[in-house]
Amino acid sequence: MNEIIRVIKRRRSIRKFKDEQIADSEAQEILNSALLAPNAMNRQKLHFTLIQNKDLLDKMVQRIKKNMLDSRIAPLVDRASSPDYNTFYNAPTVILISGEEKAPFIQIDCRAAAQNITLASESLNIGSCLITSSGYLFSIYRDNDLKNELGIPTGYSHICTVALGYKTGEDPPTPPRNPDVVNHIK
């Protein structure tokens, strides 16, 4: 089995991280891998915000939590009401992925970059977790001030986030996969 397939099979969503920050060289390698993701017509209308500042991450979690509670959507309220709720699972590094709002296929482009981030992280033995609830960071108009603070370009919207950190030793099993979703036509 080749190394890429081995990494794909080994990668899991990690939700427990060491407090230790990932090395700058590793973060750069992960971002370089994100930049190499396929994107529609090579327009490269993605933007990555790497955050390693704990105070800013805590501020973001509080904003997400408030917006989830204000949503009055029962499952979100239940989740955000948990005393140990943390959108990013206390990961020391978070990468927000944004895309130009008018770019065709930008959702696919950003998610391809997210996949590259998770696979590059796994290849470096760094845990990752793809997070979409981080969209509640910008769920109401007043949250645009945070877009400016995070350096997200005008005309770009948050698509998803990847939490990163060294693994604590947690090795979740592979969740069962449904083989019935494949239709093979020869």
For residue 161, the domain's CATH number is: 3.40.109.10
Does 186 map to a domain? Answer: no
Q: Structural domain tally of the chain?
A: 1
Residue 53 vs residues 59, 66, 94, 160: alpha-carbon distances, Å? 10, 20, 9, 19
Does 183 map to a domain? Answer: no
**pLDDT in tens for each of the 186 residues of the chain?**
799 999 999 999 999 999 999 999 999 999 999 999 999 999 999 999 999 999 999 999 999 999 999 999 999 999 999 999 999 999 999 999 999 999 999 999 999 999 999 999 999 999 999 999 888 988 775 667 888 899 999 999 999 999 999 999 877 888 888 988 998 899
Looking at the whole model, is its pTM more than 0.85?
Answer: yes
Does 151 map to a domain? Answer: yes
Domain of residue 58 covers 24-166
